[in-house]
Amino acid sequence: MTIGIGLLGLGTVGAGVADILANPEGRHPLVAELALRRVAVRNLDRPRAVPVAPELLTTNPEVVVDDPAVDIVVEVLGGLEPARTLILRAIAAGKPVVTANKAVIARHGEEIAAAAAAAGVYVLLEAAVGGGIPIIEPLKQSLGANRIERVSGIINGTTNYILSRMAAEGADYGAVLADAQLLGYAEADPAADVQGADAADKIAILTGLAYGGSVPREAIPTEGIDQLDARDVAYADKLGFVVKLLAISQRIDSQPDSEPGTLAGTAQQPGSQLLDVRVHPTLLPRSHPLAGVNGVFNAILVEGDPVGQVMFYGPGAGAGPTASAVVADILNIAGIREATNPSGSAKGPVGLDPLLAAGSWRQCHLIDGARTTHRNYVRLRTSDEAGVIGRIGTCFGEAGVSIQSIVQFEAESEAAEIVVITHEVLEAHFRQALEAIAALPEVQGVAACLRTL
């Protein structure tokens, strides 16, 4: 049975998909049954990396979705619109959808899942997070029995490339970014990558799958690497840490009180799940499983009960790896069609992905930032005189913040740089200490503040 594929987009990922479909030799036999029937492009005349018959091309993406010869719609346009509308249009027509679009799923995932549930069609999205790394299906299926405690990942290749080079070369963020753009590792407009939005989209999706309920994408606290100073990467190295842009989604079973001195647990609403979800540069001890992930590679560490730690590592972007994930989703749908309808036509509903059914999701809430607990790295610029470290220590102590280490580094002129690593402390206590420290006459400024694992 031939299965008709409609491709929305023929950019990097779309071309990778077309290439796999055009070269089925040596792959799963089902690949040979996938036929590219229609392809939506922006510009008909643009030269293409892969040969696609010109009669398949159209500039009207609705033509692709509506074509009766298209059984599965593959959305690799990126961006919110028209991607969202086209996905919903395909679902309404009873056509399963495969998408690599993290932005649309992170913001409209529930709407899309509800529409898919109502129409009884699959929407698969393995390529939306981690490129070629299988993480969506493992979270949905293979790890489904676990109580997930934490998902943490390096899920943006551009920033990991920049951070890896900053660490290896002692180079400034701006210089490495400019070079990465020249070499094609960073986009001409790198904002979504370097400011953390891309990683926040991806952790929003992983959160939904890990905890069975979505969190509002715009509420995820997000800090990128664009303000990161090379000095902090160098000091972290001296102290035994590497700096990575981490996306973290963590179960919180009871919420500590934010008032200094009182740490009583706060009850949650029954059935709901409290989560701490965030994206920020993070100091990782060199022994941490994610610390050795360098260059454009991605990795996701899933910690669950009873499985323990499971880590997924691989290429997080690029035509081949992302197309590998897209075509795997197409094959899943094609395989189910064959199993449920071995001799009939390829049309009609193919069944619902039960774990994406919106009706079965629980309510998830983000914890108030002041009530989260972290280890912290803070760099202070101070005058170099007797008693300064003591006064800083007193401010931390009075706020209930326990210090793990405090080190003075040489700085230019009469100033000193003091780096403090705290034990895990309540964010509200840490902020209170920083306020008191910033007000000390010997302290010229809080130069950097980073989270530490």
User: What's the min distance (Å) between Cβ of 316 and ligand HSE?
Assistant: 5
| Closer of 291 and 296 to ligand HSE (Cβ) | 296
User: What's the min distance (Å) between Cβ of 171 and ligand HSE?
Assistant: 19
| Closer of 281 and 316 to ligand HSE (Cβ) | 316
User: What's the min distance (Å) between Cβ of 127 and ligand HSE?
Assistant: 9
Which residue in 101, 158, 214, 282 binds ligand HSE (CB under 6 A)? Answer: 158
| Closer of 4 and 131 to ligand HSE (Cβ) | 131
| Closer of 156 and 324 to ligand HSE (Cβ) | 156
Number of residues that bind ligand HSE (CB under 6 A): 7
Which residue in 16, 157, 196, 213 binds ligand HSE (CB under 6 A)? Answer: 157
Contact 37, 4 (CB under 8 A): yes
* Placement of tokens 């086209």 in the chain: 86
User: What's the min distance (Å) between Cβ of 158 and ligand HSE?
Assistant: 3
Which residue in 193, 276, 329, 427 binds ligand HSE (CB under 6 A)? Answer: 193
User: What's the min distance (Å) between Cβ of 318 and ligand HSE?
Assistant: 8
Choice among 95, 202, 238, 244 that is catalytic: 202
* Placement of tokens 């990782």 in the chain: 284
| Closer of 273 and 322 to ligand HSE (Cβ) | 322
Which positions from 299 through 358 interact with ligand HSE, judged by CB under 6 A? 316-317
Write the CB contacts of 288 (distance below 8 Å, at least 6 apart in sequence).
453
Q: Mark the segment that binds ligand HSE (CB under 6 A) among 153-161, 211-219, 263-271, 368-376.
A: 153-161
| Closer of 34 and 317 to ligand HSE (Cβ) | 317
- Amino acid letter, 80: L
When asked if residue 90 is in the footprint of ligand HSE (CB under 6 A), the reply is: no
| Cα–Cα distance list, 98 to 124, 158, 246, 328, 330 (Å) | 5, 24, 27, 10, 7
Six-digit token string for 205: 């999706």
Which residue in 198, 232, 276, 353 binds ligand HSE (CB under 6 A)? Answer: 198
User: What's the min distance (Å) between Cβ of 67 and ligand HSE?
Assistant: 28
| Closer of 128 and 388 to ligand HSE (Cβ) | 128
Q: Mark the segment that binds ligand HSE (CB under 6 A) among 150-158, 173-181, 353-361, 390-398.
A: 150-158
Contact 232, 448 (CB under 8 A): yes
202 included as an active-site residue = yes
* Cα radius of gyration (the chain): 25
Q: How far, in Å, CA of 259 to CA of 251, rounded?
A: 21
User: What's the min distance (Å) between Cβ of 11 and ligand HSE?
Assistant: 11
| Residues catalogued as catalytic | 202
Residues of the shown chain interacting with ligand HSE in the complex, contacts defined by CB under 6 A = 156-158, 193, 198, 316-317
